[in-house]
Amino acid sequence: MSDDEFETAPTDVAARLAAEALIVDVDGFEGPLDLLLTLSRTQKVDLREISVLALARQYLAFVEQARALRIELAADYLVMAAWLAFLKSRLLLPPDPEEEGPSGEEMAAHLAFQLERLEAMRGAAAKLMARDQLGRDRFARGITEDVSRVRRVAYTATLIDLMQAYARIRTKDEFRPYAFDRSNLLTLEQALERMRPLIGFAGDWTDLTSYMPDGWGGDPVRRRTATAATFAASLELAKEGSIEIRQGESFAPIQIRRKSP
């Protein structure tokens, strides 16, 4: 880096130019590890034999300069500076047996490993990009033919399907789906329809059975459905507040009357 220049030519202009150069440089670095890798090249040794201590000094000096020149450094760079300052102290001071954590040597070794690994990945990236690339050195087919997809529907049926279908047709008269026989059924709607106009006259208590439609009292099946429907209709009317219901005791006749408004 340009340490020397600052000392030999501390003029304002030179300082400003250097400061600008530094800003450009910091921008050009891909983070503190990249900066360290660049600084380490000045040692001109294999990364495995690098002096991490010297590297830490260089880095800290760089950060000092940047500070002196009021250059805003990204937090990453400052974190690295703090870590390197710590590493430097560990490397310089005799190890404190009381202190926990990794030794300075371990930390230094890891930093060296990181630098070597980053450099290796740089090399790998360069080799990768130097390969014959598709669309630059090698080319795919220019005239392509579309594969047309022909949709075909295959219908299937099993023997069981076939037999069941046949049995269904041939036996449909015997086994038709179960359905209510509507001729002997009085519905709730029918009972309601019948009771509504009648209750207007029921000023006094009247037996519920008197509301049953004519002709539904004889046959037991018809009587049961008519009773149930009429009773259900009376409950419906009571719910809407049109009538009152009473029953003297269990199984006693049920009586209704119009509710006075």
Partner 1 sequence: MTEPDPDRDLEMEKSLFEAPPMAEQERMVEAILFATADPVTLRELIGRMPHGSDPARALEHLRRRYEGRGVAITRIGEAWAIRTAPDLGFLMQQEVVETRKLSRAAIETLAIIAYHQPVTRAEIEEIRGVGVSRGTIDQLIEMSWIRFGRRRMTPGRPVTFVVTEAFLDHFALENARDLPGLSELRAAGLLDNRPPPGSEGPEEGEGAGEGDAQSGLFDDT
Q: Indicate the helix (H) or strand (E) that contains 29.
A: none
Q: How far apart are the first and last CA of the chain?
A: 104
What single letter denotes the amino acid at residue 231? F
Token pair of 65 as six digits: 């300069």
Instruction: Write the burial class of residue 101 (CB in 10 Å: 0-12 exposed, 13-18 middle, 19+ buried).
Output: exposed
Distance CA 191, CA 212 (A): 8
**Residue 34 contacts partner 1 per CB under 8 A:** yes
Q: Interface residues for partner 1 in 72-91 (CB under 8 A)? A: 76, 80
- CB closer to partner 1 out of 10 and 123: 123
What does DSSP say about strands 254-258 and 206-207: parallel, antiparallel, or unpaired?
A: antiparallel
| DSSP-derived secondary structure letter, 217 | S
Q: Do 111 and 52 meet the contact criterion of CB atoms below 8 Å apart?
A: yes
- CB closer to partner 1 out of 61 and 162: 162
Query: Which of 114, 184, 210, 247 contacts partner 1 by CB under 8 A?
Result: 114
- CB closer to partner 1 out of 162 and 198: 162
**Residue 251 contacts partner 1 per CB under 8 A:** no
Site string for partner 1, 165-204 (x = CB under 8 A): xxxxxxxx--------------------------------
Mind giving me the DSSP string for 33-55? HHHHHHHHGGG-S-GGG--HHHH
* Contact window for partner 1 (CB under 8 A) among 62-70, 107-115, 176-184, 208-216: 107-115
Smallest distance from the beta carbon of 16 to partner 1, in angstroms?
Answer: 28
CB within 8 A of 95, min separation 6: which ones? 103, 104
Distance CA 1, CA 26 (A): 12
Query: Which of 116, 188, 190, 192 contacts partner 1 by CB under 8 A?
Result: 116
243-247, strands of its sheet edge to edge = 206-207, 254-258, 243-247
* Contact window for partner 1 (CB under 8 A) among 29-37, 175-183, 192-200, 202-210: 29-37
- CB closer to partner 1 out of 47 and 69: 47
- Size of site (CB under 8 A) for partner 1: 69
Query: Which of 45, 61, 92, 121 contacts partner 1 by CB under 8 A?
Result: 121
Q: Interface residues for partner 1 in 131-170 (CB under 8 A)? A: 131-159, 161-163, 165-170
- Cβ-based neighbour number of residue 260 at 10 Å: 6
- CB closer to partner 1 out of 115 and 186: 115
- State the residues that interact with partner 1 by CB under 8 A: 30-34, 36, 76, 80, 101-103, 106-107, 109-110, 113-114, 116-118, 120-125, 127-129, 131-159, 161-163, 165-172
